[in-house]
Amino acid sequence: MADDSTGQTLHALADERRTFPPTERIKADALTVDTSLYDEAAEDDEAFWARQAAELLDWDTEWTTVLDWQLPYAKWFVGGKLNVAANCLDRHVAAGLGDRVAIHFEGEPGDTRTITYADLLAEVQRFANALKGLGVEKGDRVNIYLPMIPEAAIAMLACARIGAPHSVVFGGFSSQALADRIDDAEAKVLITADGGHRRGSVFPLKPAADEAVESTTTIEHVVVVKRGDNDVDMVDGRDHWYHELVEAADADCPAEPMDSEDLLFLLYTSGTTGKPKGIMHTTGGYLTQVAFTHKYVFDLHAETDVYWCTADVGWVTGHSYIVYGPLANAATVVMYEGVPNYPGNDRFWDIVEKYKVTKLYTAPTAIRTFMKWGVEEPAKHDLTSLKVIGSVGEPINPEAWMWYREVIGGGECPVVDTWWQTETGGIMISPLPGATTTKPGSATFPLPGISVEVVDEAGNKVERGGGYLTITRPWPGMLRGIWRHPQRYHDAYWGRYPGRYFAGDGAKLDDDGYLWLLGRVDDVMNVSGHRISTTEVESALVSHPAVAEAAVVGATDTTTGQAIIAYVTLRSGASDVQSVGIDDLRNHVAGEIGAIAKPKTIYLTPDLPKTRSGKIMRRLLRDIAEGRNLGDTTTLADASVVDEIAARATATPQED
Ligand code: 7RM
Burial class (CB in 10 A: 0-12, 13-18, 19+), 488: middle
Q: CB of 145 within 8 A of CB of 161?
A: no
Write down the architecture of domain 24-509 according to CATH. 3-Layer(aba) Sandwich (3.40)
pLDDT at residue number 656: 40
- Does the pLDDT of residue 92 top 80, yes or no? yes
Kindly tell me the sign of the dihedral angle through the C-alpha atoms of 437, 442, 446, 451: negative
Write down the architecture of domain 524-651 according to CATH. 2-Layer Sandwich (3.30)
Mutation probe of ligand 1 site: the residue of 531, 556, 596 with most atoms within 8 A of C-beta: 531
> Ligand 1: distance of its center to the CA of 638 in Å?
37
Mutation probe of ligand 1 site: the residue of 6, 394, 454 with most atoms within 8 A of C-beta: 394
Taking the C-alpha atoms of residue 517 and residue 418, their distance in angstroms, rounded to an integer, is 10
Identity of the residue numbered 577: V
Distances (CA, A) of 599 to 418, 490, 555, 582, 587: 28, 31, 11, 10, 9
Cβ(519) to ligand 1 under 6 A?
yes
pLDDT classification of 618: cutoffs 50, 70, 90: confident
- Does the pLDDT of residue 631 top 50, yes or no? yes
Strands 195-198 and 201-204: antiparallel
Q: What is the DSSP letter of 593?
A: T
Ranges of each domain in the chain = 24-509, 524-651
Per-residue pLDDT of 33-50, as tens digits, reads: 999 999 999 999 999 999
pLDDT classification of 654: cutoffs 50, 70, 90: very low
Distances (CA, A) of 384 to 298, 355, 470, 649: 16, 12, 38, 47
Which tops the pLDDT comparison, 13 or 228?
Answer: 228
Taking the C-alpha atoms of residue 357 and residue 347, their distance in angstroms, rounded to an integer, is 13
Strands 307-309 and 359-362: parallel
Which tops the pLDDT comparison, 170 or 646?
Answer: 170
Per-residue pLDDT of 497-543, as tens digits, reads: 999 999 999 999 999 999 999 888 888 899 998 989 888 899 899 88
Q: Give the DSSP letter string of 64-81.
A: SEEEEEETTEEEEEET-E
Which atom of ligand 1 sits closest to the CA of residue 524? Answer: 24
Other Cβ atoms within 10 Å of 205 Cβ, number: 26
pTM of the entire structure? 0.91
Give me the phi and psi of 4, to 5 degrees please.
-65, -40
- Bridge partners of residue 566, in order along the sequence: 552, 602
Taking the C-alpha atoms of residue 264 and residue 8, their distance in angstroms, rounded to an integer, is 40
Largest CA distance in the chain: 74
Long-range contacts of 546-553 (CB under 8 A, 24+ apart): 546/570, 546/571, 546/574, 546/579, 546/580, 546/584, 546/585, 547/571, 547/585, 548/572, 549/608, 551/608, 551/616, 551/618, 551/621, 552/525, 552/599, 552/618, 553/525, 553/618, 553/621, 553/622, 553/625
pLDDT at residue number 274: 74
pLDDT at residue number 632: 63
Cβ(393) to ligand 1 under 6 A?
yes
Identity of the residue numbered 268: Y
Taking the C-alpha atoms of residue 31 and residue 291, their distance in angstroms, rounded to an integer, is 14
As a whole-number percent, the residues of the chain with pLDDT over 90 amount to: 82
Give me the phi and psi of 153, to 5 degrees please.
-65, -40
Per-residue pLDDT of 456-488, as tens digits, reads: 999 999 999 999 999 999 999 999 999 999 999
Per-residue pLDDT of 569-606, as tens digits, reads: 898 765 454 578 899 999 999 999 999 999 999 999 88
Question: Roughly how many angstroms between the first and final C-alpha of the chain, as a whole number?
Answer: 31
As a whole-number percent, the residues of the chain with pLDDT over 70 amount to: 94
Which atom of ligand 1 sits closest to the CA of residue 317? Answer: 1
- Does the pLDDT of residue 655 top 60, yes or no? no
Please report the beta strands in 51-193, taking only residues with DSSP state E, as ranges in sequence order: 65-70, 73-78, 81-82, 101-106, 112-116, 142-145, 166-168, 189-193
Q: CB of 259 within 8 A of CB of 166?
A: no
Cβ(508) to ligand 1 under 6 A?
no
> Ligand 1: distance of its center to the CA of 295 in Å?
20
Q: CB of 548 within 8 A of CB of 571?
A: yes
Q: CB of 610 within 8 A of CB of 636?
A: yes
Taking the C-alpha atoms of residue 127 and residue 209, their distance in angstroms, rounded to an integer, is 20
Over residues 131-154, mean pLDDT: 98
- Look at residues 197, 205, 203, 228 and name the one whose alpha carbon lies nearest to residue 108: 197
Mutation probe of ligand 1 site: the residue of 526, 530, 562 with most atoms within 8 A of C-beta: 526
Over residues 396-400, mean pLDDT: 92
pLDDT at residue number 464: 94
Helix (H, G, I), strand (E, B) or coil at 579: coil
Long-range contacts of 638-645 (CB under 8 A, 24+ apart): 638/607, 638/609, 638/610, 641/605, 641/606, 641/607, 641/608, 641/609, 641/610, 642/609, 644/605, 644/606, 644/607, 645/567, 645/603, 645/605, 645/608, 645/609, 645/621
- Does the pLDDT of residue 4 top 50, yes or no? no
> Ligand 1: distance of its center to the CA of 522 in Å?
13
Mutation probe of ligand 1 site: the residue of 6, 517, 521, 528 with most atoms within 8 A of C-beta: 517
Burial class (CB in 10 A: 0-12, 13-18, 19+), 301: middle
Which tops the pLDDT comparison, 615 or 12?
Answer: 615
- Look at residues 108, 161, 153, 104 and name the one whose alpha carbon lies nearest to residue 131: 161
pLDDT classification of 5: cutoffs 50, 70, 90: very low
pLDDT at residue number 1: 32
Rg for the chain, CA atoms, rounded? 24
Please report the beta strands in 169-294, taking only residues with DSSP state E, as ranges in sequence order: 189-193, 195-198, 201-204, 221-225, 239-241, 258-259, 263-269, 277-282
- Look at residues 136, 457, 443, 426 and name the one whose alpha carbon lies nearest to residue 309: 426
Cβ(517) to ligand 1 under 6 A?
yes
Helix axes 150-162, 117-133, angle to 10 degrees: 60
